[in-house]
Structures are given as C-alpha cells and as structure tokens.
Amino acid sequence: MIQMDEPMKILILTQTFPLTPQDSTAHFMYDFARGLAQIGEKVTVFLPYHPHLKPKLFQNVKITSFKYIWPSPLHLLGFGRTLENDQKLRWFVYLLAPFYFLFGTLALFLLVRKEKPDIINAHWILPGGFIAAIVSRLTGVRLFISLAGSDVYLARRNILFWQMALFVKRQATKLISNSPQLLSDFGARGEVISYGVPVELNKKLPQAPRHQKTKFKKVLVATAGRPVEKKGFALLQRLIPGIEIVSDLPVGDFRKKLLEVDIFIALSLRDSKGNLDDSSLTVLEAMAAGCAVIASDFPGYRRIIQNGRNGLLVSPDDEVSINNAVKTLRRSGNLRYCLGRKARQTIAASFTPDKIAKKYRAIFSSSLSK
C-alpha cells in the first residue's frame, strides 16, 4: 500500500500530447502530467510515436513513445489527427489501427514490467484505454480511466467500439471525467474532476474598468479552439459579426492573447452527429486570464461557473439570451471587471494543475488502499 508521503509511480497513457512545451495541441495533458510531478509523484507519459515530438524538452516528466508502423511518416494516429471534424474517423485509421493496438499493447506491457508503476491512468477510453485494460489484466496494475470527450462519442459509433469500451469499463478501478454529462452519455458512474490550467503564467490582473471601454468598438469579444461543429463557431459568427476566433497559436502566445480579450464566449453545443463539447479547457484558460466568460449552460460548465458571479451561463439554443449576455457585458465595464476577477480567483483556488493533481492523487491512494 502506498503511504501518503511516498511518491507514487504513475504511468499516463494518451494518444495526443504537445510536440514541444509551447505546442498548443492538447497542452492540458502536459499541464496534467506536470501537476502530478509538481506534488512529488514520479510521472511517465506513454504515447504513440510522432516524428516531431521532442521528449527531452519537457521538464519533470518522462516521455516514452512507441512505433507501430514503418516508415516513420506513416505514424498518423493521435495528436488531433484521428477524427475529422470530431465526428468521424479518417480513412487511414482503419488501416493503421490493428498495428497501433498490437504494438502499443506489447510496448506498454514491456514498459510496465520494467518500471513497475503503481497505477496506470489512461486518458480517452479508446484507443489508449483498451490497450491499458489488456495490460492491466495481464499485470494486475490498477487502471484508472479519464474520459476526456470524443472518446465517449466514438465508443457509441458501432458495436465493436462499444464492446471494447465495455471491456475497459469492467477492467477499470475507477472512471474519472471532466464532465458529468460524459459519464451519463457512457452510462457509467465515476468521479468528476476537471483538468487544470496554470494561473502563474497569466500574471496580469484584470484592471479596473476605464470609461472608454464601455464603447462597443473598444470591447474585444473572442472565442477559441479548433474549427469543429461542436464549438458553435458558425452560430457565434452569425450572432456576433466580427467576433475573433483564436486558433493555432503557441500556448504562450495564446495565453498572452487572452489577456487582451474582454469577453470570451464558449458556445458549446451537441453537434449534428451527437458529439458534445462540455467543459472546454479554453474556458478555464480564459478565466485564468481574467476574461468575462460566457459559456453554455451544460453540466461541466456549471461545476466551474456560478452564473452571475464568475461568469455567465446561457442556453446554446436561446439566441436572445446569448445576444443579451453579450450586450450586457459590452455596456458594463464594471461587470466585466468583477466577473473576470472572480473567474481568476476561482481558477487559482481550485483548478490549477497542482490542485487537480492532488484530487487525482486522493482517488488513486484511496482505491489502492482498499
């Protein structure tokens, strides 16, 4: 049994990760791993090979990748390239997936035998969760699954994926998700813990409102993320002409850009195929930067935003409410200031990587002690 004052050896599985510390692709996974290392745990990240991945640039976290095909340019899975519009698998996935599962399982089995981790924490139930479940069954190492979003949607696409997901569910010691809606969609119970974002990188505090900021043209309204349907960009562009979509910036530049934003909107919705974006990390990033945030009134966002206190919640189906929320914030510099400051305090108090890591550590330790 692991004692609370002993470092825990944690093996994290993910199919996506930033290629460098400044890459914005799934940067929350690096923040997550770094948060665990920050509280004293020994962290190894296991992920598929990418020719541009720079493992030695990441501090306090060991990166191990596996190859599953030859030649190297054919390593096309993971790193945000598997799903098209977050709705369907790209054609090459069906060709590469058998090799991915075979060599991923073998590589993980050998790594577990070598490093003897205390727990395996797989993010996304497919594909990594399935590989981890097989190795967990073979080695007896406890498995914890983090449901992160599109994996739940993907699991429900066909009977094979669903059976694989059920096998993972049975093998897992605990399911964890950043959204209670994802657990509900999966038909499972589990712990709800958000991912974390650093506040110390956004040192600038929201400033007291200036008179000229009350003019519409002086207020910057923005959203952020990949151009996929579930982000609601098309609706936002129709409702708010001139809204800025922040995308494809290095993570440092992205966080600096958010310091310039007055109103940040995350209009998540369930897209035409049934996929859902609940509890987007861009909302946490915007709150950490002191933006006045408007987000969809979904279960994941309700755990972070108290409507009217540290942000505003709106129904993505109610265009009148969305417009009214934007108009109210545009007109009131004082309200933007108050919401932004409370938002930043919320992140600092409960949603930084080290605080999220402590919540994960408590779940791991509690399960191992039983």
Q: What is the pLDDT of residues 95-119, one digit of tens each?
A: 999 999 999 999 999 999 999 999 9
Do 9-196+352-369 and 211-350 come out as alike in CATH topology? yes
Residue 88 has pLDDT above 80, yes or no: no
Mean pLDDT of 155-165: 90
Q: Is the pLDDT of residue 357 over 70?
A: yes
Question: Would you state the torsion angle of the CA atoms of residues 40, 46, 51, 55, taken in this order, to the nearest 10 degrees?
Answer: 10
For all residues of the chain together, what is the average pLDDT?
90
User: Tokens at residue 314, please?
Assistant: 């709106």
β-bridge mates for residue 327, sequence order = none
pLDDT above 80 for 168: yes
Q: What is the pLDDT of residue 222?
A: 96
Low-confidence winner among 32-36, 133-137, 237-241, 292-296 (lowest mean pLDDT): 237-241
**Is the per-residue pLDDT at 213 higher than 50?**
no
Q: How do the domains of the chain map onto residue ranges?
A: 9-196+352-369, 211-350
> How far, in Å, CA of 211 to CA of 360, rounded?
44
Do residues 329 and 292 lie in contact, with contact meaning Cβ atoms separated by under 8 Å? yes
pLDDT confidence bin for 212, thresholds 50/70/90 = very low
Average pLDDT over residues 185-205: 81
| Confidence category of residue 4, pLDDT binned at 50, 70, 90 | low
Span 29-42, average pLDDT: 96
9-196+352-369 maps to CATH 3.40.50.2000: yes
Q: Please give the pLDDT value at position 294.
A: 97
pLDDT single digits (tens) 296-335: 999 999 999 999 999 999 999 999 999 999 999 999 999 9
Pick the CATH number of 211-350 from 3.60.140.10, 3.40.190.290, 3.40.50.10490, 3.40.50.2000: 3.40.50.2000
**Cα separation of the two ends of the chain:** 9
**Structure token pair of residue 188:** 């499972």
Alpha-helix residue ranges (DSSP H) falling in 172-293: 180-186, 233-239, 251-258, 281-288
The pTM for the full model equals: 0.91
**Which residues have C-beta within 8 Å of that of residue 327, sequence separation ≥ 6?**
none
Q: How far is CA 13 from each of CA 31, 117, 181, 260, 279, rounded to the nearest angstrom? A: 14, 12, 23, 35, 21
Percent of the chain whose pLDDT exceeds 90: 72
Q: In the predicted model, is pLDDT for residue 265 greater than 60?
A: yes
Q: At 204, is the pLDDT very low, low, confident or very high (cuts 50, 70, 90)?
A: low
Distance (Å, whole) CA 54 – CA 37: 19
